[in-house]
Amino acid sequence: MIRFENLEKHIEAFKKYVIQQSKANLLKGGKHGAHSATGKLISSIDAESKVSQNSFELDFLMEDYATFVDLGVQGKNSTTKAPNSPYRFGSGSGKKGGLSQGIDKWVRLKGIQFKSRETGMKLSYKNTAFLITRGIYNKGIKPTLFFTKPFEKGFKRLDDEMIEAFGLDVDEFLKFTLKNIK
């Protein structure tokens, strides 16, 4: 049976690079706390790989909302924040009330309360969450590309390395096979 040790090493290195850089991008961009009051997003980033005789599989795993943070979301009334995003608020495809619930939870956890312009008194968490949610819903979420950039950069480097690694493994397999045929 052929063993793809060199290929596995390169896949592992690629996997580790993408995970490490994605987490660093979230921390650098302040998105670790901004998009998850609990830190669930950054701690959820992981990957699984499997190398078989005729193929290899690599899956990156993270919270469902990671794609919205990465690619952004177009607003209901504006596409300027995320013009290339496949996601858009108000499309009817998302979970009803999901944004409102998430923002309300975040506002309460962070203790954020806006002040009234007229009275100077703090607004309730519910009113603060409503104002933030309305702004995000209408204007959208700017893409961070926290995952896309390291994935693409790592993949460009991986291309030649993978071919080379696969070639080395095939050579080793052929040497082993020829040695054992005699």
DSSP letter string over 23-66? HHHHHHTTHHHHS-TT-HHHHH-EEEEEE-SS-EEEEEE--TTH
Q: How confident is the model at residue 33, as a pLDDT?
A: 46
Q: How confident is the model at residue 94, as a pLDDT?
A: 74
**Which residue positions in the chain have pLDDT lower than 50?**
1, 32-35, 182
Segment (H or E) for 101 = helix 98-110
Q: How confident is the model at residue 47, as a pLDDT?
A: 94
